[in-house]
Amino acid sequence: MGVIKVWCTYFSVLSCVTALDHKKQTQPMAVTDQINIQDITSDNIVEAIHAKVQQYKEEPMYYLRIGKANCLIEVLVNDFPVYKSYELSNLASPLRINSKILKSGTQTVTVRMYPVGDLIKEEYEHGETITQLGDASAVSITVTQIDKQSEMDFDDEHEVMKHRSPTTDAEGEVFTGSGLPFYEYSFEFTAKVPYDLSENSWGNAADLRKVKPAYLEEEALKYYQTFLNEFQKGNKDYIAQKLFHSYLIRSQTYYRSKTEIQELWNEDLNLLDNPSIETQPITNYELIFYSRGGVVNYVIRILLIQGYEIKVRHGSYIKKIIEKKQCFMVSTCIALNKNLANET
């Protein structure tokens, strides 16, 4: 029987090593290198992460500027969801994506497009239900880069590339997926970062789609229940251990200072200390794979919020209020290291 290794856990409120003064040569850094997770506590997690996060003279940050028309969209970077828009409005601010870039080289952006359904009718109180993408459905994405060590204003921003959803005509006015209920396409860009976190992370995880579904589901549910039990107990050390890997990746990819890491940890501690938060069991769920099968997440198909059915596609982070109480949902990430045997 294979061993499933849990390497990261994200959680959110739902309604339901050494700092360097010179640029080091990039070397692959195993996320668990020289770290005994059992030694991590609520009191030392910030110091432990800070000791591993390296600082550089140049710290490139990558962003997506996303625009859309006549469609709803989901955007993934390296097969990880980074943005979902099920509204008519557009994203005003650029979206940072460094946490989905584990090393320099080719990065893949995937766009999933859906028709707007009843949104126009609801917004303007007239019109009809739209079940297909149209000629004018379009998505535009600009990849930009800025150095965190700069002033980080508009003048410091560097355009890496622009990309637009495919069209069938020379003028670029007729969307290729016109008439379809769903359309997906991808494009690539090259990123250059000073770190390499591709080892012993989701970057080299084995394909969980090859694991027997029943076994995978059993292990995921078992982990989820254990996590909830410890959360209910207020076990801060346990939470620190389970969040360590994702904290380390996010802290390194965003070149975070000790103060920034501490602020993030304080926010999560506030969840544990918040009496208005209650845990919710997972029901009506499915398992969704990301990172080419290296990561599996729970996805709730439907949430009941104040009597209304809210459909959640690939939703892990949603904030609302249910009967004036905040509810807590764990989004479980499970990765199977390539060096471990599969349960197939």
What are the residue boundaries of the structural domains of the chain, listed by start? 5-57+197-337, 60-191
The dihedrals phi and psi of 261, each to the nearest 5 degrees, come to -65, -45
Q: Which conformational region is residue 40 in: left (phi greater than 0), alpha (psi within -120 to 50 degrees), or beta?
A: beta
Q: What is the C-alpha to C-alpha distance for residues 24 and 20, in angstroms, rounded to an integer?
A: 8
pLDDT at 146: 96
At 187, list the tokens. 């494009």
The answer to whether the beta carbons of residues 175 and 134 sit under 8 Å apart is: yes
Residues 6+ apart with CB under 8 A from 44: none
Q: What is the pLDDT along the chain (344 residues), one digit of tens a residue?
A: 444 444 444 443 333 322 333 334 445 555 555 678 999 999 999 999 999 999 999 999 999 999 999 999 999 999 999 999 988 888 888 999 999 999 999 999 999 999 999 888 888 888 888 999 999 999 999 999 999 988 777 788 999 999 999 999 988 899 999 999 999 999 999 999 999 999 878 877 888 888 898 998 888 888 888 888 898 899 999 999 999 999 999 999 999 999 999 999 999 999 888 888 777 777 777 888 888 888 887 766 544 333 333 333 333 222 222 232 333 334 444 444 333 333 44
Residue closest to 300 by CA, chosen among 282, 327, 278, 318: 282
Residue with tokens 């809210």: 310
pLDDT at 91: 81
pLDDT at 290: 87
DSSP reduced 3-state for 119: helix
Helix (H) or strand (E) holding 208: none
Q: Alpha helix locations (H) across 97-141?
A: 119-124
Q: What is the C-alpha to C-alpha distance for residues 192 and 322, in angstroms, rounded to an integer?
A: 43
For 154, 185, 287, 305, the CA distances from 75, given in Å and listed in that order, are 24, 10, 19, 25
pLDDT at 286: 80
Residue spans of beta strands (DSSP E) within the chain: 5-14, 60-69, 72-77, 80-85, 95-96, 105-114, 138-147, 158-164, 183-191, 205-206, 277-279, 285-290, 295-300, 302-305, 308-311, 326-337
Neighbours of 104 (CB within 10 A): 16
Q: Of all residues in the chain, what percent are helix, strand and coil, respectively (each to 5)?
A: 25, 35, 40
